[in-house]
Amino acid sequence: MPTTDTPSPTVRTVQAHKADELTARIVRSSPLTYDRIDDGAAEEGRVEAPGHVRAASALVRLIDRFALVQDDANFLGLVDSDTHEVRGVPLPPAPDGARVHDDQAHTGDVGSKLDLEACASDPGANREYLVAFGSGSHKTAEWVVTVDWQDKDHDGAPDTRLIETPAFHGRLRQDRAFAGSGLNVEGAVFMGPERLRLFQRGNADPRGDLQPVDATGDLSWPALKAYLADPIGTAPPAIENVIQYELGDLHGVRLTFSDAEALEEGITLFSASAENEETGEIVGSVLGIIDADGEARWAELLDEGGEPFEGKVEGLSRKPGETDHVYFVIDSDDADRASRVYEADLDGPWYAQF
């Protein structure tokens, strides 16, 4: 059968390692329940505004709060970093008219949920502009959402857009070096005002000679923004500077990327989780750091009691200037239970030269 995949160029592969001198320990957590949902989330047919964040999947600093997206609900959550209170902002509904989609994993039917798994705030727009990405792990997840508060009252409604992006996700998928056997975009960070870096999670099944890969790759933000403004008439940018990562194992289970946070001077924090491919069991998560040259190391995430944390980190961020204190969110994998936000302290020489 002919293929349209882009041949894989020679790419660099980085072997990440556990760093015993680093620790990451949870110090606080709260359920993510809405204290307020903005007007505009009125019922539309079977659409209802949920009372809690159902499936937090990415986290980023936006204006003066953290913003989170969800993989099965079209609501942006704005989380106060001190109180953990959540303001809900409705996003455009999916093509089926719904903003909330029930978990259909047991039937294998992903329905019309957008599967938003990555988001970033544009530093060139004073972090008043957010872009969120569908994972691309299936054809219905080829979407980008933009949320624009520029020239707006931050307490009011932003401009929001839902953009179908098959050409963009298709070009990512066709790059074998980045996507491997299956595309799954899980993280996005701005590396300056003109470069956006995506994090690919390598959890797909092998496909012929292709194996799942964890990787990072860079996009021109001006070129991507031009494409989003005209996805029919403008070609999407190609992904560049692809680096593949072998993150290692945690308790015998392979680690895969789940999110990232850009720091200064080309350094990024990342999260990764170990999920048993056969049972779906999460055995733990790690927080790690990638230096400006792409080298990586990590520490296992510990709970408040100092024991291994058995949750799956879905989104990672921090407040400006707080290099040793991070925030992350997890998805409970239960639509009736609220996702949670956690705070963790980082100890040790996290930012020393590798």
**In a domain? residue 46:** yes
Work out the average pLDDT over 302-322. 95
Q: How far is CA 33 from CA 80, 87, 266, in A?
A: 12, 9, 34
CATH number at residue 55: 2.120.10
What are the tens digits of pLDDT across the range 18-30? Answer: 999 999 999 999 9
Q: Which residue did the predictor score with more confidence, 317 or 42?
A: 317
Work out the average pLDDT over 143-159. 93
Q: How far is CA 258 from CA 79, 104, 130, 185, 314, in A?
A: 20, 21, 19, 9, 6
For the chain, what is the total number of helices (H) and then of strands (E)? 3, 24
- pLDDT higher than threshold 80 for residue 44: no
What are the tens digits of pLDDT across the range 54-79? Answer: 999 999 999 999 999 999 999 999 99
**In a domain? residue 197:** yes
Q: What confidence category does residue 279 fall into, taking pLDDT thresholds of 50, 70 and 90?
A: confident
Q: What confidence category does residue 156 fall into, taking pLDDT thresholds of 50, 70 and 90?
A: confident
Provide the residue range defining the domain that includes 286. 12-347
Q: Containing H/E element for 220?
A: strand 214-220
| Exposed e or buried b per residue across 263-272, where buried means at least 16 C-beta atoms within 10 angstroms of its C-beta | beeebbbbbb
Q: What confidence category does residue 10 fall into, taking pLDDT thresholds of 50, 70 and 90?
A: confident
Work out the average pLDDT over 122-134. 96
Q: How many structural domains does the chain have?
A: 1
**Residues of the chain above pLDDT 90, percent:** 79
Amino acid in position 346: L
| 344: nearest Cα among 315, 116, 258, 190 | 315
3-state secondary structure at position 249? strand
Q: What confidence category does residue 96 fall into, taking pLDDT thresholds of 50, 70 and 90?
A: confident
- pLDDT higher than threshold 50 for residue 100: yes
**In a domain? residue 210:** yes
pTM for the full predicted model: 0.93
**In a domain? residue 167:** yes
**In a domain? residue 123:** yes
pLDDT at 42: 47
Q: Which residue did the predictor score with more confidence, 15 or 48?
A: 15
CB 242 within 8 A of CB 215: yes
What are the tens digits of pLDDT across the range 245-256? Answer: 999 999 999 999
pLDDT at 4: 52
Amino acid in position 68: L
**In a domain? residue 7:** no
Work out the average pLDDT over 310-321. 95
pLDDT at 48: 61
Enter the tokens of residue 95.
């093509």
Work out the average pLDDT over 321-330. 95
Strands (E), 234-332: 240-246, 249-250, 253-262, 268-275, 282-290, 296-302, 313-317, 325-330
| 133: nearest Cα among 206, 212, 221, 209 | 221
What are the tens digits of pLDDT across the range 165-199? Answer: 999 999 999 999 999 999 999 999 999 999 999 99
Across the chain, mean pLDDT equals 91
